[in-house]
Structure 1
């Protein structure tokens, strides 16, 4: 059973794989929690707002934007790619590839890279959007490409990591993992440390391979399939890994939050946590948005739970983002929730999008940049 060949929306797929494990075949995911009122402690002002087409066009994919050289690069499912000035929010250029796009945007100030639904890696000039080259790859890419020197690195949904020459798209190396029968529709975004590409795989492992030739350095499982059905045995490191303080932090769906040695992948500690998004670090904590909709802070040294905010249950939260003294998450109704890093209490709430915020906001010059699945993008600052 493989959901990659099924072109149903991500939302429908995620609903299927989010059945409550162990509660019987007729268990369903509970409805999202109703938002509770609170007394705001800070106020947010919108600096600018823009919009790019139809956004995800109800595909419920995670289109992560690229911030490079004061420019935000983003795309919509139908094929348009946009460059927006991060200071003013004004359009710089847009191009239409006239074919569905997935996976978000990667690159730098010279080139940006996008991937098509039909499995092509496309390079564009970052200054004007002119197409430079395209190359067929083995399958869909559901996360942005990562650039290392002259190599473009992508992870495909069929369990491959591959490097391509940034100048002409010619293949340079490939690493292949063993894929389970059932996975979430998504992939971890590769992260480069020195000359190692570190990423999570759909089989519940974190791997490090050479960014120069794809040779495997090490592999470490952080989730082991359990149960009788394929759904119960589903494990997937889907949200990317975090590199912080000479350690790797990764979390798996129906798995664990693990701290791994940066150089050999050996576990330092692990605790049971299920998530489809990446962890983040702030103060002395590691923050996670769980599959149940909790935002939890763990001490990064002792793995002790510091606090848990449970009032956003089943609201399909983004990965948490550290913004000064605060933690920010987006949800399925277009809300941004701002929490205190100290105790997880709500300090502010805004609704910058009319639809699902599928991708975590990003920070630029102390401003919060929010992209919604409706094609909206806006910048916010603390008053």
Structure 2
């Protein structure tokens, strides 16, 4: 993972998963866990897997290598849409693991995939926004900057958040640009998925450390509020970015600011409910009662959604590079860099089960569709798991 300059040009290269909680520490002294020539810390042995919650592999599919692609698994009903780094996009039936459609765009992607269950949208490294319908290309439009956040397809429109901190809306049928908004920000951005979602009739996007609510019809700003603020004296120290995934329950939206904070806002009023310091690089997930996230050192934490008070924290997966979590029933599901999928109790973080894939690492936050847990590995394995 890298930083890039906000004008879309590649800039400072810097690791994000597993870095120390403060960017300044990593810059000047080397990370106490990773840098300074010291060896990478070894995760604790997990011991024998005691399957408290029975899970079986229902199916497996292939999508192609996903390395380098900020992938989000999109689910709508029983349809799971995924993409590969080299431009393969597929809609998979989560009930069977079979393809509903598949297309090879024959060009590498920088962001994918957004979908409303019918249309799917990806962005190529050539800065082309490509919209597909049933596996056929409907249209494409050139963009002015790189994109690392999957497009949002909603309400007959396609919304795109670019690395130059612009947000654009396109007609989903024709590709006609409807509006564009440019926002100021720090000169560096993360080469990682940001925040872009719908909350009722409001479009919500992350710009630097701020959540901004907009009118999706014309891009006018309805509200904005900060979860984290820039700090420090140089571009790297001052980097502040909201990262996906997010957790939305009615008007409550909770998100993570990269290596800075976790917090929740009220999307109706545009006000902060609470925010707390946190040192993670991946997003959060939860329900109306609790919010869950993994810190950069592998600690998994649960917060009370209403006020941010800590419910529990576990170091069992410490020093394992974890994905953003998925709350699924009684389980908090996270993947790690060795291809393991961990199911933890939502009540106290105790282990419920551990399942293996191909060993190449889980690269996207787990998703659920048609009562099936879906994960994607770096080598392009797509796995569907169901309870016994």
TM-score by length of 1: 0.91
Pick the aligned partner of 1:142 from 144, 148, 155: 148
User: 2:47 matched to which residue of 1?
Assistant: 37
Seen in structure 2, the aligned counterparts of structure 1 residues 216 and 283 have a Cα distance that, compared at 3 Å, is: closer
User: 1:320 matched to which residue of 2?
Assistant: 325
The alpha carbon displacement at 1:283 in A equals 6.4
- Check the 8 A contact 1:72/1:86 in 2, yes or no: yes
Superposed, 1:248-259 pairs within 5 Å as 248-259=253-264
- Check the 8 A contact 2:80/2:369 in 1, yes or no: no
Instruction: Name stretches of at least 5 consecutive residues in structure 1 with no aligned partner.
Output: none
The alpha carbon displacement at 1:15 in A equals 6.0
Give the count of matched residue pairs.
Answer: 375
User: 1:311 matched to which residue of 2?
Assistant: 316
Q: Deviations over 1:256-304 (max 9, x none)?
A: 2222122222122221113332221136211112223211111112321
Pick the aligned partner of 1:231 from 227, 233, 236: 236
The alpha carbon displacement at 1:228 in A equals 3.1
Q: Hey, what's the Cα distance between the residues in 2 that align with 1:66 and 1:87?
A: 15
Q: Hey, what's the Cα distance between the residues in 2 that align with 1:279 and 1:96?
A: 31
2:221 paired with 1:213: no
Mean CA deviation greater in 176-185 or 204-213: 176-185
Pick the aligned partner of 2:123 from 115, 119, 124: 115
| Secondary structure of residue in 2 paired with 1:238 | strand
Pick the aligned partner of 1:100 from 105, 108, 112: 108
| Secondary structure of residue in 2 paired with 1:138 | coil
User: 1:266 matched to which residue of 2?
Assistant: 271
TM-score by length of 2: 0.89
- Check the 8 A contact 2:194/2:241 in 1, yes or no: no
Q: Hey, what's the Cα distance between the residues in 2 that align with 1:240 and 1:370?
A: 15
| Secondary structure of residue in 2 paired with 1:183 | strand
Q: Hey, what's the Cα distance between the residues in 1 that align with 2:211 and 2:251?
A: 16
The alpha carbon displacement at 1:140 in A equals 2.2
- Check the 8 A contact 2:170/2:178 in 1, yes or no: yes
Q: Hey, what's the Cα distance between the residues in 1 that align with 2:308 and 2:314?
A: 17
- Check the 8 A contact 1:279/1:287 in 2, yes or no: yes
How large is the Cα RMSD of the aligned pairs?
2.3
Q: Hey, what's the Cα distance between the residues in 1 that align with 2:77 and 2:63?
A: 20
| Secondary structure of residue in 2 paired with 1:239 | strand
Per chain length, whose mean CA-contact separation is higher, i.e. which structure has more relative contact order (CA < 8 Å, sep 6+)?
2
Mean CA deviation greater in 27-36 or 108-117: 27-36
User: 1:242 matched to which residue of 2?
Assistant: 247
Pick the aligned partner of 1:356 from 338, 361, 379: 361
User: 1:165 matched to which residue of 2?
Assistant: 171
User: 2:37 matched to which residue of 1?
Assistant: none
Pick the aligned partner of 1:63 from 55, 63, 71: 71
Pick the aligned partner of 2:205 from 183, 195, 199: 199
The alpha carbon displacement at 1:233 in A equals 2.1
Q: Deviations over 1:84-116 (max 9, x none)?
A: 222211233322111101211212243211111
User: 2:157 matched to which residue of 1?
Assistant: 151
